[in-house]
Structure 1
């Protein structure tokens, strides 16, 4: 027999290493899922299923290709029966013991079109792998870390995030969700009008804290436009609007955030039910976002088995 290593054994070793690497990647993904985060858990499970499916398909294709090459060599060896025994044995031993050489020879016969398809497939797989690795890296990014901290802070208060759509109205939608829980539901339009009216009537409380993008202070006209935008557009609301909402609703508002203690606004109304929202600085590509909260619900399947 030739000293060439058995191609089937080589392929088996390669497949085992790929399986081991995949299991390590899967464990890392599983451990990244926060307890009770059903949405994230579902996303990770789908990602894991795709990783396993892709590897199964890849390894099956490689196995079938090697089997076909080995079968071609075996057929060639059988056709040597009419030769002298010594010649046949020499040729057969050389051929069967070098299935990998036949495998390479088969590769040479592949058409140019097939080569182009294979090249594209390789690039697609490379791109998919880059995306998978980026997904894993994102788990340690600012957005993910901030979300984990907010969830832990809420859980300690027996609360969890209630997702609010990111459309510029997130603060008002979050506050309205809280108001509905105590039977005082309103609307974006009503809340925005209340905020704009209160800010205009109490200009000295707000104007000094407003600046333009270049750092210049707001003029009277700038402030008037700001109030108009607050009332009639989907302009994002922040800390100033939280203060105005607390004053117009005459209710305390508590803002849970990832860093530091919660921010309390309207403490003079502490006798009234508190409105609780959570603030995320890195929630979306556009930046800051407000969500509402709800009572914490224990997930019986919080951890992976």
Structure 2
């Protein structure tokens, strides 16, 4: 009786797949709720992450069904490679004794299955495209860094990446008095910008009016630099070169390196600027010594 209640292996797998899909949808909803609607950059990242999660789960389900029942794949390959379609075929096979569905219903089912397949392929193509762009960018950067016996050191993407990369660079130097936390780096950056407003205000304009920031707008900007996860850019890097009295070099894949603070003669802090690291268009990583340098031995 227990075996009958448990059902066939196909039925058990179907129930497992339904539960995993339900759990994924709950996770997706939680991800959506965690990001403000007006945060376009993070929502774009979230959309790509969701597409990847759905594609991975779909592929996992397909592989499990193929392992359980290899013959199912050939029956549904012409219709759809989606997990839902494989489930429909399995259920139809077990319900052959029931009345046949109408031709109109079959057409509707086929159309719905094809639409699901189309949407799945679009999502997977977007993910693969992003991965391809990231892969190519990573290859170019790896080649450029290897020339300096360096490699990328990954920094988490949380809005603090530029400051975390600089924090890592300072830690690697082990220079007394120069090791600073992200919080301190942000605070010192905001303080320098406030104290040298004339050097930074001309580069800050209201996106709605095009006018240079007012005093209040500039103070709000500095406050966000200090107290939030606002992304850092060249203005903040300029401030940091003055705070640290060190030059900063930013290496990019398809553009010339950017050097800031060249008036300082010390070895520069080196950052990697990635356009496609997380599909966001902006991300900073740190660097470290190449662990396995290529071509170090005579061939």
Matching residue of 2:156: 165
- For 2:204, which of 191, 207, 210 is the aligned residue? 210
Task: Indicate the SS of the match to 2:272.
Answer: strand
Aligned equivalents of 1:197, 1:107: Cα separation in 2: 72
Alignment of 1:41-52 (within 5 A): none
Matching residue of 2:215: 220
Task: Indicate the SS of the match to 1:211.
Answer: coil
Matching residue of 2:226: 231
Matching residue of 2:253: 258
Aligned equivalents of 1:194, 1:277: Cα separation in 2: 19
1:223–1:63 distance in 2 versus 1, CA, 3 Å: closer
Task: Indicate the SS of the match to 2:275.
Answer: strand
- For 1:137, which of 109, 129, 138 is the aligned residue? 129
Structure 1, unaligned runs of 5 or more:
1-45, 66-105, 301-305
Of structures 1 and 2, the larger Rg is shown by 1
Aligned equivalents of 1:63, 1:282: Cα separation in 2: 38
Matching residue of 1:249: 244
Shift, 1:280, TM fit:
1.8
The answer to whether the 8 A contact 2:130-2:276 is kept is no
- For 1:296, which of 287, 290, 295 is the aligned residue? 290
Aligned equivalents of 1:133, 1:286: Cα separation in 2: 17
1:56–1:203 distance in 2 versus 1, CA, 3 Å: same
Alignment of 1:32-47 (within 5 A): none
The answer to whether the 8 A contact 2:66-2:73 is kept is no
1:287–1:135 distance in 2 versus 1, CA, 3 Å: closer
Alignment of 1:65-144 (within 5 A): 128-141=120-133, 143-144=134-135
Matching residue of 2:5: none
Matched pairs, number: 213
Residue-by-residue CA offset, 1:227-284 (whole Å, 9 max, x unaligned): 12211222211001101111111111110012322111112222x2321111123333
Aligned equivalents of 2:168, 2:130: Cα separation in 1: 30
1:192 matched to 2:186? The reply is yes
Matching residue of 2:145: 154
Alignment of 1:266-305 (within 5 A): 266-270=261-265, 272-298=266-292
